[in-house]
Amino acid sequence: MNRTPPIAGAALLALLFTPWPAPLLAQTWQSAAVCGGCHSEIHRTWRGSQHANAFTDPAFRLPYDRLRRENPRKTFTCEQCHNPMRYLLAPDDPRAVSFSLEGVTCDFCHSVSAVDAVGPFPRYRTRPGVKFGPHPGSHGSGPHVTQFSRLHITSEFCAGCHEFRNEHGVPILSTVSEWEKSFYRGTGVHCQFCHLPELFDARFIDGKKKKGPIDHAMVGGHSRERLARAIPMRARLDLAGKEARVVVSVKNELVGHATPTGIPTHRLRLAATLFDAAGNAIDRREEMFERVLGDGTGKALTRPEEIFVSAREELKDTRLKPKETREVRFSFPAGKEAPATASVALTYEIPTPDIAPALRYIEIPVAVQVVPAESGPVRGKAVVLAAAAILAFLAWLLIRKAGTKRG
């Protein structure tokens, strides 16, 4: 019976339990759990993000699985962004399954060295062993090498996944090109300024945030607080003769792209409901802010996989552009009961036909206002009085200026 010499055995145990040198460890792809060992707060916020759940979210998996059954080759493009590590690992790498549960994981984003936003997939070039990001680089002072990357603080970085045309040339995802046409591009405000505000101390985006560990939840249209802050709304109810009018002003104030953006299934619903003095609903009107794509025959597409694969035309685009103010007027004919108030609600809607067919939409309230009725003559009198006051003030200024010159 052969025995391992005591010295050799001790050496073997020491080799097994000795931590790998930092350069060797850094050259292998790491799970997000490894990153969380040092970056616990960043890992916590990322874990609940849409990036982390990009490949496991039922809203993605159900359409993806349908498409995979019908045409498996079409799903390769989906995985380039929803399960990107699959294309960085060797085909037989056993870690592929565990990485798929991490969606857009830490090591993917922070290993990207270049992006080709308009080219074929894969659009990203990576350099394992170096962690790219917004902070100054370091060499050998930690478990991995870091390097400053200007790419990581520009919208170009996001364009690799948030900009996509299908094989028919129809833009399905156009978030970055919407930003490129906006006011924000010329002022140097990139995606990260709003979606990673701590990086820039952008407190006007979220006044509660301060510099510190960067919140990797990267919230946007799924955040009620963020939507309410970004899209202010004003409304009034006018009564004039035999008609009631609800006039609503909505502004896309703090969003650097069209709202809603991304996949053309999300939408904003603006609804106005009239009530009588007893609180009974009298009538209701609605307006949708949305983008609708069709199959080339005028038929609207609603399933996500059909939109990506089969869209050949744009049927409608009534979304709010960056900095756009939209005034919507709802007219109601006079009825037996005079309206006393109007309730105006702006809601962000996410369809859920696959997840909860009976629910139909997840509704995120953006703004709700209840406004009292204002009669036409009273409102007109108020406007005249205000104008008269302004004119009187201007006349007083002119008289005062003339008296000063004479003096």
pLDDT in tens, 48-84: 999 999 999 998 999 999 999 999 999 999 999 999 9
Taking only the tens place, the pLDDT of each residue in 77-104 is: 999 999 999 988 888 899 999 999 999 9
Beta bridge partners of 164: 173
Report the distance separating Cα 49 and Cα 105, nearest Å.
Answer: 11
Reported confidence tier of residue 351, pLDDT bands at 50, 70, 90: confident
Task: Inform me whether the pLDDT recorded for 346 exceeds 90.
Answer: yes
By residue count, the chain amounts to 407
Contact 307, 297 (CB under 8 A): no
CA-CA-CA-CA torsion sign (357, 317, 54, 189):
negative
Question: Is 386 exposed, middle or buried (CB count within 10 Å of its CB: 0-12, 13-18, 19+)?
Answer: exposed
H-helix or E-strand spanning residue 81? helix 75-82
Q: What is the pLDDT of residues 158-212, one digit of tens each?
A: 999 999 999 999 999 999 999 999 989 888 899 998 898 887 765 555 555 555 6
Alpha-carbon distances of 221 from 304, 329, 345, 406, rounded to whole Å: 18, 25, 16, 62
- N-to-C CA span, the chain: 121
Backbone φ, ψ for residue 105 (5° rounding) = -90, 170
Per-residue pLDDT at 19 exceeds 60: no
> For the whole prediction, is pTM greater than 0.85?
no
pLDDT at 326: 98
**CB of 286 within 8 A of CB of 270?**
yes
Tokens standing for residue 157: 């970085």
Q: Return d(Cα 329, Cα 326) in angstroms, integer.
A: 10
